[in-house]
Structure 1
C-alpha cells in the first residue's frame, strides 16, 4: 500500500510540473532564437595495433594463484582456467553443446587422466578461441563426458599456438 501511495504522489508532482515545463519550452521555440545544441565530440583516432607488433593480453592471478578469465570460443563467452598442465583445451559436455559441439557417444573412447581420476573424452576442434586481443583458429580440444569441471580448461593446444606466454609478478601475459 505504501508503494502505491509513493507512486501516486510522484505522478501528481509530474502532472503538476509538466504544463509549466511545456509552456517554457513553447515560449523559447516561439521567440525565434535558435536552440542551442551541445558541441559535437572531438574525433580521436583509435589506436590500432602496429602491423608486425605482438598483441598482448594480461590476466591477473586470483587469490589461489590460478589464472581465470573469459575466452570467446566460436563467438560465445566461456569462463576458463588457463592450465599449462592440460595438454589440450578441455570442455565438459554442457559447454561443448553450447558451442554447437556434440560428439556422438561412440567418440568418447580416449582415456584421460584428470584431477578426479581417469575419464573418457572425445576429440574435437574449436574454430576460434580469443582471449582479449589474442586469437587462435582451429584449436584441438577434448570433450569430457561426466566431467566435474568447474570451468573449461585453456590448455597447451591453445598456448603453444601463441608467440609466447609468461608469468611475472602474479600476472600471465599471452602474446600473439
Structure 2
C-alpha cells in the first residue's frame, strides 16, 4: 500500500527506506508550511528570514552584533549582511559599529519594525493554529520531542568533530 506521501509525489515504487520516506515527508511539510508563512510575510514586505531577524531583535530588547543575530536564526543564511542591508533600507533596523572593536556591527530594531511585528503577531499565531491546531497538545509535544531527537544527531556530530 502506497503512503500518502507516495501518492502525493505520484511515486511508482516504494521508498528505499523508512528513513528516506520520513525525511522527504519532513522536507515536503516544511516546504508547504514555509510557503504559507512566506505569503503572509510578503503581504507585509518581508521574507521569512527578515521576519526572523526582527523577532530576534525584538525578543532581545537591545542591539545585537550581526553575527549573533545570524547564530540565532531558524534557517542558516550565508548572507546576513544583505538581509540586514534590506531591512535598514526599509527603515526596520539601524546599524552602528562597536567603538571598541570596529569589526563588530550592532543591529537595532526600529519603532517602525516594532509596529510591523505587532501587526503580524496575531496573523502569525492564527497561521500556527491553522496549520497545527488539528493536533492535540500531546501530539504536538510528541512531535516537538521527536523533531528535537531527530535533530540531536546533528549537534552531537558537530560537537564531536
Q: Which category describes the TM-score, using the shorter chain as reference length?
A: under 0.3
Determine which structure has the larger helix proportion and give its number: 2
TM-score computed with the length of structure 1 as normaliser:
0.24
TM-score computed with the length of structure 2 as normaliser:
0.25
**Larger-Rg structure:** 1
Give the structure, 1 or 2, with the largest relative contact order (CA under 8 Å, sep 6 or more): 1
Determine which structure has the larger strand proportion and give its number: 1
